[in-house]
Amino acid sequence: MPISEIHVCQCADCVQPEEHSNKQIHKQMNLLLSRLDEQQRRWYVAVETNRIGHGSLRWLSLIMGMDEKTIQRGQQEIEQGLVERPSVQVRLSGAGPPRVEKKTQL
């Protein structure tokens, strides 16, 4: 599995040379993001956007390097309870083959 590139936050707090309390947390957010798959990324950023609230969409888009439209799509999916998205267990390689239920042929 290729190692995903970790996005470097471009927000005003992170681009300044001085230390800022947000720098570490934004780094951690992007580190976490780099280990998630595409839809999980979208949902994580959507939940963060909802948590921070009004006006955070643009900011989160800057922090995570994610398109605002993608975040909005995530927000929609979260709001709908992810009903359209079946839960899939992601297995680590080496954990053995996934169990496959045999379908009975009629």
Q: Which of 8, 9, 32, 93 binds Zn ion (CB under 5 A)?
A: 9
For Zn ion, which stretch binds (CB under 5 A), given 25-33, 37-45, 49-57, 87-95?
Answer: 25-33
CA distance 90 to 88: 6
For Zn ion, which stretch binds (CB under 5 A), given 37-45, 58-66, 85-93, 95-103?
Answer: 58-66
The tally of CA atoms less than 13 A away on the side-chain side of residue 65 is: 14
When asked if residue 41 is in the footprint of Zn ion (CB under 5 A), the reply is no
CA distance 75 to 10: 22
Identify the burial level of 99 via C-beta atoms within 10 angstroms of its C-beta, where 0-12 means exposed, 13-18 middle and 19 or more buried: exposed
Residue 14: CB minimum distance to Zn ion, A: 3
Task: List residues binding Zn ion (CB under 5 A).
Answer: 9, 11, 13-14, 26, 63
